[in-house]
Amino acid sequence: MEAFGLLLHGFAVLLTWKTLLLMMVGLVLGIFVGVLPGLGGPNGVAILLPLTFTMDPTSAIVMLSCIYWGALFGGAITSILFNIPGEAWSVATTFDGYPMAQQGRAAEALTAAFTSSFIGSLVAVLLITFLAPMISSFALKFGPPEFFAVYLLTFCSFVGLGREAKHKTVISMSLGLLLAGVGMDTVSGQLRMTFGSSELLRGINFLVAVIGLFGISEILLTMEERLALRGHAAGISLRVVLSVWKDLPKYWVTLLRSSVIGCWLGITPGGAIAASFMGYNLAKRFSKDQESFGKGRIEGVFAPETAAHASGTSALLPMLALGIPGSGTAAILLGGLMVWGLNPGPLLFVEHKDFVWGLIASMYLGNVVGLVLVLTTVPIFASILRVPFAAVAPMIVVSCAIGAYAIQNAMFDIWLMLGFGVVGYVFKKIGIPLAPFTLALVLGSRAEDAFRLSMIGSGGDMKVFWSNGLVGSITTLAIVLLFWPVIDKAISGLGRMVRPARA
């Protein structure tokens, strides 16, 4: 129950007018970003990050995480009212959400979406509250070999379990790791891959890359689409909210199932997209009346939304406990931590108790405040879509430029951002995933340091990664995951060879 006491302390840190105000501002900005076409969670957090540079870390993370919750809530609005998923993980929400809106049950669908998002996040936050301190205190015993093994596990699981073509994931990841190494080498002080350029001396900043990859490239991609909208307006009345909530206990199995799927896929790098589809499909499979899915069934909104939000929230667990982000947005928040001078990882729980528990408490509060806020302000936000994209696009470009420049006060970074925008556009179109790149770029130098420190410790002997049970099993697991598709094929191949023999 130590966690509980610390959590109460966290609430005490938060309950000041200033923090609550920041929370509201963050949520509003987040919903705004979530509703706008072509912008979503990671982009919003990346673009608005510079606003927080001058704040103290606790206020900054509270505001940023609220932007994130807001964006998650906002994505559901466009999915249901306009059949436009704001994010890939809202795609499953449109299956039943939009038909409901067409039948005039938009308010019901929205309430269901917001409520289930809230429940999903809440389950994940509870998990974080009790699991994160345990994992981090366990991880305090980790030495460099263990850390490298965990990083290796993260990278390998992306390659082995990702849905994209394997070589494309490898390209994206190795490119990220390489770019993370540009600049001054932290161990020897030597310059690497700078080619005599004084601008590259600082290295390639993670956030600059992210703003380009997610902000600029997203605008380019959005412009390719037809931007016409036809949607329903909706106001939510208290009566509808209460009637949906009254029926909520009937769906407890769906909600629980989706929460568990979401939490699991959020911690492992499976991600919110997989979680939302899996939540939806399982709800459909276990339903007695499968035909009615896709025609406006409220469960079809509950299932994917709960899973997506549970996953989006629990992605923060490995980030807090181990310093390894479980999603793109978590990676950006991690980048933020470094800007504010905090070192992510298990030590965070020891050295910055106020910060960590403030953040966890803000997840609870942010979700409650967010739920109330979206339920009351949906009509206003839906009408934001009337603002022409020609006015929104240049404003986003300017915000991106401000963000990129503010990080290091360098004009070169604005050009770098533009370059990454083009790279992101091309990569997305030919199917090179950006998430492994982001992850590699933010973890690169720490993975390398862990590798070199363990090599120095062992005198260059690779056996150090199998030197005890813990590090040995993590390393082995990493290698198994890396070759998982091959192993999977081999097992099913063997199975096929055995079965005909029996028959």
Partner 1 sequence: MSNTELEIVVDDPTAPEDNSPAVVSTGVVDVVVSLLLLALALVLGWDNWRTGASWDSTGPQPGYFPFYLSVILGGASLYGLGAAFVSRREAAETFVTRAQLRRVMAVFVPTLLFCLATQYLGLYVASFLLIAGFMRLVGKIALWKSLLTAFIFTAAMFVTFDVAFDVIMPKGPLEAALGR
Which residues in 103-132 contact partner 1 (CB under 8 A)?
103-104, 106-107
Q: How far is the CB of 487 from partner 1 (least distance, A)?
A: 20
Residue 466 near residue 454, CB atoms below 8 Å: no
Which one among 2, 17, 141, 195 touches partner 1, defined by CB under 8 A?
A: 195
Residue of the chain from 11, 340, 451, 466 that contacts partner 1 (CB under 8 A): 451
At 215, list the tokens. Answer: 């902000």
287 lies in the site for partner 1, by CB under 8 A: no
CA distance 350 to 156: 29
Q: According to the binding rule CB under 8 A, does residue 148 interact with partner 1?
A: no
Could you say whether residue 297 binds partner 1 (CB under 8 A)? no
Applying CB under 8 A, among 2, 17, 188, 289 the residue interacting with partner 1 is 188
Applying the rule CB under 8 A, the residues between 66 and 105 that interact with partner 1 are 81-82, 102-104
Cα 192 to Cα 204: distance, rounded to the nearest angstrom: 12
Nearer to partner 1, 281 or 458 (CB): 458
Of the residues 2, 198, 285, 409, which one makes contact with partner 1 according to CB under 8 A: 409
Q: Please give the single-letter amino acid code of residue 237.
A: S
Nearer to partner 1, 139 or 159 (CB): 159
Number of residues that bind partner 1 (CB under 8 A): 80
Part in contact with partner 1 (CB under 8 A); list of ranges 17-25, 41-49, 281-289, 423-431: 423-431
User: Distance (Å, rounded) from C-alpha 89 to C-alpha 34?
Assistant: 12
> CB-based contacts of 308: which residues, under 8 Å, 6+ apart?
72, 89, 90, 92, 93, 117, 120, 262, 272, 273, 275, 276, 279
H or E element in which residue 132 lies: helix 106-139
Least distance in angstroms from the C-beta of 444 to partner 1: 9
If the CB atoms of residues 37 and 312 are measured against partner 1, the closer one turns out to be 37
Quick one: three-class SS letters along 431-482?
A: CCCCHHHHHHHHHHHHHHHHHHHHHHHHCCCHHHHHCCHHHHHHHHHHHHHH
Sign, CA dihedral 173-140-344-20, equals: positive
Q: Is residue 367 within 8 Å of residue 121, measured between CB atoms?
A: yes
**Residue 192: strand, helix, or coil:** strand
Segment interacting with partner 1 (CB under 8 A) among 39-47, 329-337, 351-359, 384-392: 384-392
Q: Can residue 414 be called a binding residue for partner 1 (CB under 8 A)?
A: yes
Q: Where are the alpha helices (DSSP H) in 287-352?
A: 299-314, 316-322, 328-339, 348-351
Given candidates 26, 269, 335, 421, which one binds partner 1 under the rule CB under 8 A?
A: 421
Taking the least distance from each CB to partner 1, the nearer of 123 and 298 is 298
Stretch that binds partner 1, among 26-34, 69-77, 182-190, 471-479 (CB under 8 A): 182-190
**Closest CB to partner 1 among residues 351, 461:** 461
Q: Which stretch binds partner 1 (CB under 8 A): 61-69, 198-206, 363-371, 447-455?
A: 447-455
Among 44, 75, 232, 276, binds partner 1 (CB under 8 A): 232
Under rule CB under 8 A, residue 462 binds partner 1: no
The Cα 48–Cα 441 span in angstroms is 20
E-strand ranges in 19-92 read: none
Which of residues 131 and 410 has its CB atom nearest to partner 1 in the complex? 410
| Structure-token pair, residue 431 | 């199917």
Q: At what angle do helices 106-139 and 252-267 cross, to 10 degrees?
A: 40
Chain centroid to CA 327: 4
| Window 233 to 262, contacts with partner 1 (CB under 8 A) | 233-234
The pair phi, psi for residue 184, each rounded to 5°, is -75, 130
Write the single-letter amino acid at 75.
Answer: G
Measured from the CB atom, the residue of 225 and 351 that comes closer to partner 1 is 225
C-alpha–C-alpha distance, residues 227 and 212, integer Å: 22
Interaction of residue 393 with partner 1, rule CB under 8 A: yes
Question: Of 21, 134, 165, 491, which one interacts with partner 1 (CB under 8 A)?
Answer: 165
